[in-house]
Amino acid sequence: MPAPYEALLLLGGNIGNPKLILSQAEALIEERAGRMLSRSRDHWTEPWGFSDERLFLNRAVIIETELAPEQLMEVLLGIEAELGRQRTDTERYTPRTIDIDILLIGEQMIDAPSLQVPHPRLHERAFALAPAADVAPLWVHPKLNRTVIELLNDLRPPE
C-alpha cells in the first residue's frame, strides 16, 4: 500500500439535481477512497465542448488517500456509474449526472492507458481551474511548472 498522498479531484454534472449528486459523490469518495481535506465553493458554468441549456455544477475537492492512483481512478469510475453516469464511445462531451476527474496528485506525472495526471486538459479549462484555485491555488502543474492560480489567470484576457 502506498504512503498517503493528496489528490485534487474535480466533480461536475448537469443532469438531475447536481447539488445532491455531487454531495452523494463526496460521501462515497470519503467512504471508499479517502478522507476529504477541503472542498471548493460551487461553480456554475456553461457546458464545455458541446451545447446544452443546462449549466454544469463544478466543485473541486482535495482528498488524502492510500489507494494507488490507478485504483483511485477505478473507485471514482465505480462511483460515477453508481450515480447514473453512462459513458459512450461515440460522444466525448455530453450532459452527465456526474464526472469525477483526477486533476493533480502532488508533483506526480502519470501517463498510463487508464489514467493521465496531471489531467491533460486542465490548463485549458476555467471550469476546472476556478474551483481548483479555491482549494489549491499554489499547487504546481508538474509539466507546465505553473501554479493553479497562474494557469487560471493565463486563461483570462488582460483587462
Q: Round to whole Å and give the CA distance between 109 and 14.
A: 29
pLDDT at 157: 64
Q: What is the pLDDT of residues 25-65, one digit of tens each?
A: 999 999 999 999 999 999 999 887 667 778 999 999 999 99
111 is catalytic: no
Q: Round to whole Å and give the CA distance between 74 and 62.
A: 17
**Is residue 10 scored above 90 in pLDDT?**
yes
Average pLDDT over every residue of 61-78:
95
Q: Looking at 8-12, 79-83, 144-148, which range is the least confident one?
A: 79-83
**Is residue 117 scored above 60 in pLDDT?**
yes
Q: Residue 55 in contact with residue 4, Cβ under 8 Å?
A: no
* Domains with residue ranges and CATH for the chain: 5-155 (3.30.70.560)
Q: Provide the residue type at 154 as one letter.
A: D
**Is residue 158 scored above 70 in pLDDT?**
no
Q: Choosing from 42, 59, 96, 125, which is the catalytic residue? A: 96
156 is catalytic: no
Q: Residue 77 in contact with residue 102, Cβ under 8 Å?
A: no
Q: Choosing from 32, 85, 92, 121, which is the catalytic residue? A: 85
39 is catalytic: no
